[in-house]
Structure 1
Amino acid sequence: MTAKHSAPVRGLMSAGRSPMFEGLFGRMFRSLPPASFGKTEDENITNLTALGIAMSGPDDEVKDGKDDEESGIPALYTYFGQFVDHDITFDPASSLQKQNDPDAMVDFRNPAFDLDNVYGRGPGDQPYMYDDGDAFLLGDALQGGSDPGAKDLPRNSAAKGRRRALIGDPRNDENAIVSQLQGLFLRFHNRKLQDNPGISSFETLQRLVRFHYQYVVLNDFLPRIVHSSVLSQLKTNGKYDATKLKFYHWKNAPFMPVEFSVAAYRFGHSMVRPGYRLNDAIRLPIFPTPASAEGLTGFREMNPAWGLDWGRLIDIDTRKYEGTDEENAKRLQYAYRIDTSLVNPLGNLPPAVASNPASLGARNLLRGWRLGLPSGQHVAQQMGVKPMDDNDILIGQGVDKPDKPLPNILSVSQAFKQNCPLWTYILAEAMHFKEPVKIAVTEDITLQTPRLGPVGGRIVAEVFLGLMYGDKHSMLNVAPDWQPDGGSDFRLKDFVGYAIGQ
């Protein structure tokens, strides 16, 4: 595996829209002071790096069977969240090593749920992504999974091992799962085109696909990650209400808040498993290891044997699990819980991905500090929420029956006394806001699943809704009562099923 296969593409050419488009980053809580975790720069770096390392979990193996860290959320939602992030934000100028002014940062990804990471600039401006009509081109066939029509993404003609995807955002080829999810969006569009011969224009078809996507974001993804008590505060008579947005406001056009992009929406890092089984024959860690020369890393043509068995990632079918090896291998995998622990591959990133620091947790924390994010306690107070006590900000895996009590944040440093970094605070908060999720697809059990609480959940939900209400072409503005053909119960599993032809 070379660095070129795992290092993310950066630069203006990665943007799906002209760099002349400016959607500024900004702040939701401008009046709050930036948090500091030491008297000097070195003390800040030392304390935050120590916290990032403390948030790195043990050496987890890639497992097929039950895992105490599992949530009740199917694993594909982790990568759907990554896909959403690539749709609404892209900052090619970001750097961990310099102080960035969020008011001057430019979001070259249009801050809207408009699938510009799929459609790019459209067939008129990027015809190499489309056939002679309005359908997307697809790549080479993939085998091994449950989908006989599985295809790789369309790619250029570079040398073997370096063929880049011809898609709206190259980041959606950065690992094998998000790459094949991107492919499903292409196929969903193509099937809608085939099934609706009366559609009058490409723009009409595009809007239909966007509405399905936005419906899943609002009615499936958001309720899985945000506690129901938080979402209920944003509704009137059971429907989302723009007048209920209290903290995310803009003057002329929606912006991307750094409290969201650098803290709250990075909850997904805690949901990543150490690896995934793709199909009967292939099980891979997220990065190559001494024991596995291969990992999920992308930016190259897909191995033709890596076709996904989608039922291992999303509940599109029922799989009885009794514990034998054969049935164990076919089990639906679940995302890890939202908590203050990242799997070890993220706690010690390979040199080809990142270094100094190699801990993703430390990198997130340092990024937030350099951007001047306020503490979690200050944000809670600003939102009218009673801040958590330091004893309740636990560091580690939020499993139901830990081997021993989890330490609190003060075990890392007294610098965090009533002064918790916003990202860590949001993850720790989720550990106290659990909801029962019945797992009937496999084990027929109920899991207490952490969800984002009144600080983290409110930030995420308000930004999601604010971006929708700020887009005059969104479903919430054009047709707020719109429903997919599958009715009000349409979920990500139905999107996947339709795309693969079920």
Structure 2
Amino acid sequence: MSVNSSSRFHGGVRGAELSRGSLLFGGPFGRMFRALPPADFGTDDIQSEAALKVLAAKMLAIHEDSKNGPDPEESGISAVYTYLGQFIDHDLTFDPASSLQKQNDPDALVDYRTPRFDLDNVYGRGPDDQPYLFEDGKHFILGKPLNPTGTNTDPHDLPRSVPHTPGAQHRAIIGDPRNDENTIVSQLQGLFLKFHNKMVDTLGGDFAAAQREVRFHYQWIILNDFLPTLIDADVLAEVLPHIKAGTDVVRDPPRLRFYKARDEAYMPLEFAAAAYRFGHSMVRPEYQLNLDLDAPFPIFAGSAEPGTLRGFRALPKNHAIDWRLFVDLEPLGWGDAADQNNPNTKKRTQRAYKIDTSLVNPLGNLPPDIAADPSALALRNLERGWRMRLPSGQAVAKAMGIKPLADSDILIGKFTGDPADTLVPIDHADFKGAFVGNCPLWTYVLAETIEKQITIETTEGVKQQTARLLGEVGGRIVAETMVGILLADSSSFLAQDPRWTPMPALTEAGVFGVRELIKAAL
């Protein structure tokens, strides 16, 4: 088996053998570790594809029961972070030509979204170029009202087209169509529309000032809430020392060792095709939208069925999200005594699944209108990373000066603590040696997560719960990419006003994160 061969281009992918990133396009995809050879998993393409299919099958969680109560695979991380991660991804990248087709050329891919945290997935091209997003050139148009639920007393759908053809989909009229992919990210998009509208009112109708403040608050959340929630604190401190020190980025500036932007920011393939896909393992099989619905909904179901989280359609009026079920909005004990003593109560903040080397069953067979050939998300991720010629996880660890995980420590399965849920190590005989010292980067990032006890608020009080946080390779790639993009953006708060802080009226005990943004938008 040839692990480091660079002489096979998987169907003639032009430029795949080159170690550089494109210098020809604004917002290009590039490589963080340009000198590393790509990983192959067999002596030819057929063997590599076969090995990846076996690995993808092992990563599929088996016997996944539908649960609305506490689950052994739950982490201490609120479910909203899964979909905030999806929202952030849609802000950073939009590659309409991306697919698993063999003509993919990583050095010719163009990032059609600006690699900036500028909310162009919300603002589009602005009120002058896309006036149909705004009602008066300042405020976003909101969609039809939904039924009030919980603290979400004035919910709305996204604004939608009215098709002439009976039965046609009512597409959302928003800056990025992907933010209507599912019910949860759709309503998160709606929160940002409302947050902007309230900021416009707060600042006396000044659109430009409101847009700047919304962007700065969003960027603050990324640095001070999203990354600290998902990355091990010691790993993050190597990139953002000010968070652990309790200072600011002027006194303790960010430290980047591997993200090296040249003339402008770029999107590393190691991030986009591997490390940032950690969120796929956080997805639950079902979610409870609000307390008025009798049961949780599966993340995928037939598009014509009402009991589904599928997107690209007008939301049923009773599908408004009670955000208390996705993030800790309420003070302790918002459920009554019976709720607090019932482990399966609906009145609970749903938690994301642990970041591990497993994906829930629904992601193993995506509906044909979403993905096909292959329909398994794990296999799509593995094949895309391989076709993008990514190096192995061990190779990246060595380039970072980190001792790679032993093959016996790269475990495939659910990290619940039950031996039956951890299936096999990466050097198991089923893989026929394809991954010995040669683990796909995405799988390696999931396997190296670090178990930590974190403090969460529940209806039963403050508790300690286990979470798995991104480790040295995955955490470093994600943190350096996001921080590097912010530093390279002349319009970010790090560039314009590094000591900027959120509006005091929006903070709670000096803290502003996704929880406080949701409260402000509601």
Scaled by the length of structure 1, the TM-score of the pair is 0.91
Residue 251 of structure 1 is matched in structure 2 by: 262
CA distance in 1, matches of 2:393, 2:438: 7
Residue 489 of structure 1 is matched in structure 2 by: 511
Residue 28 of structure 2 is matched in structure 1 by: 24
The counterpart of 2:310, out of the listed 278, 297, 318, is: 297
State the 1:462 CA deviation.
0.2
CA distance in 1, matches of 2:241, 2:352: 31
Are residue 457 (structure 1) and residue 475 (structure 2) matched? yes
For 1:54-203, list aligned pairs within 5 A: 54-143=58-147, 145-146=149-150, 147-159=152-164, 162-197=169-204, 201-203=206-208
The counterpart of 2:443, out of the listed 394, 407, 424, is: 424
* Contact persistence 1:161–1:301 (CA under 8 A): no
Residue 3 of structure 1 is matched in structure 2 by: none
CA distance in 1, matches of 2:420, 2:35: 42
For 1:326-337, list aligned pairs within 5 A: 328-337=345-354
Segments of structure 2 that go 5 or more residues without pairing to the other structure are 1-23
Q: 1:290 to 1:163 in 2, by over 3 A?
A: closer
The counterpart of 2:292, out of the listed 273, 281, 288, is: 281
The counterpart of 1:471, out of the listed 472, 484, 489, is: 489
Paired AA for residue 92 in structure 1 = P
State the 1:214 CA deviation.
0.6
CA distance in 2, matches of 1:493, 1:349: 31
CA distance in 1, matches of 2:382, 2:147: 40
1:295-329 deviations in Å (ceiling 9; x for gaps): 2111111111101111001111134553438x701
State the 1:442 CA deviation.
2.6
1:373-414 deviations in Å (ceiling 9; x for gaps): 000000000000000000100001111344465421122411
CA distance in 2, matches of 1:363, 1:193: 42
Q: 1:291 to 1:182 in 2, by over 3 A?
A: closer
Q: 1:454 to 1:119 in 2, by over 3 A?
A: same
Paired AA for residue 440 in structure 2 = P
Paired AA for residue 226 in structure 1 = I
My pick for the range that moved more, 439-448 or 256-265, is 439-448
1:319-361 deviations in Å (ceiling 9; x for gaps): 4553438x70111100000000000000122223222222110
* Contact persistence 1:339–1:427 (CA under 8 A): yes
CA distance in 1, matches of 2:469, 2:103: 32
Are residue 344 (structure 1) and residue 361 (structure 2) matched? yes
State the 1:490 CA deviation.
0.8
* Contact persistence 2:80–2:327 (CA under 8 A): yes
CA distance in 1, matches of 2:303, 2:341: 29
State the 1:99 CA deviation.
4.4
CA distance in 2, matches of 1:404, 1:52: 15
State the 1:242 CA deviation.
5.5
State the 1:60 CA deviation.
2.0
Residue 219 of structure 1 is matched in structure 2 by: 224
Two-structure CA RMSD over aligned residues (Å): 2.0
State the 1:290 CA deviation.
12
* Contact persistence 2:240–2:254 (CA under 8 A): no
Higher relative contact order (CA 8 A, sep 6+): 1
Q: 1:292 to 1:134 in 2, by over 3 A?
A: closer
My pick for the range that moved more, 207-216 or 401-410, is 401-410
CA distance in 1, matches of 2:368, 2:215: 38
Q: Secondary structure, in 3 states, of the residue corresponding to 1:51?
A: helix
CA distance in 2, matches of 1:236, 1:278: 37
CA distance in 2, matches of 1:499, 1:324: 31
* Contact persistence 2:241–2:253 (CA under 8 A): no
Q: 1:405 to 1:341 in 2, by over 3 A?
A: closer
Q: Secondary structure, in 3 states, of the residue corresponding to 1:156?
A: coil
Scaled by the length of structure 2, the TM-score of the pair is 0.88
4+ runs deviating over 6 angstroms = 289-293
Are residue 353 (structure 1) and residue 370 (structure 2) matched? yes
For 1:368-387, list aligned pairs within 5 A: 368-387=385-404
My pick for the range that moved more, 292-301 or 265-274, is 292-301
Q: 1:387 to 1:192 in 2, by over 3 A?
A: same
Tell me the percent identity. 50
CA distance in 2, matches of 1:21, 1:205: 30
CA distance in 1, matches of 2:421, 2:304: 30
Residue 39 of structure 1 is matched in structure 2 by: 43
Q: 1:300 to 1:189 in 2, by over 3 A?
A: same
CA distance in 1, matches of 2:382, 2:284: 21
Q: Secondary structure, in 3 states, of the residue corresponding to 1:434?
A: strand
1:422-471 deviations in Å (ceiling 9; x for gaps): 000000001xx122112222344311211111100000000000000010
* Contact persistence 1:393–1:428 (CA under 8 A): yes
Paired AA for residue 515 in structure 2 = K
CA distance in 2, matches of 1:73, 1:405: 21
* Contact persistence 1:27–1:102 (CA under 8 A): no
CA distance in 1, matches of 2:349, 2:304: 24
* Contact persistence 1:376–1:422 (CA under 8 A): yes
Q: Secondary structure, in 3 states, of the residue corresponding to 2:467?
A: strand
Residue 6 of structure 1 is matched in structure 2 by: none
CA distance in 2, matches of 1:206, 1:243: 25
Are residue 324 (structure 1) and residue 342 (structure 2) matched? yes
* Contact persistence 1:99–1:371 (CA under 8 A): no
My pick for the range that moved more, 442-451 or 187-196, is 442-451
State the 1:170 CA deviation.
0.4
Residue 5 of structure 1 is matched in structure 2 by: none
CA distance in 2, matches of 1:243, 1:28: 17
CA distance in 1, matches of 2:419, 2:292: 33
* Contact persistence 2:261–2:488 (CA under 8 A): no
Paired AA for residue 393 in structure 1 = I
* Contact persistence 2:303–2:310 (CA under 8 A): no
CA distance in 1, matches of 2:171, 2:306: 21
For 1:253-272, list aligned pairs within 5 A: 253-272=264-283
Residue 54 of structure 2 is matched in structure 1 by: 50
CA distance in 2, matches of 1:132, 1:405: 55
CA distance in 2, matches of 1:405, 1:157: 49
* Contact persistence 1:288–1:295 (CA under 8 A): yes
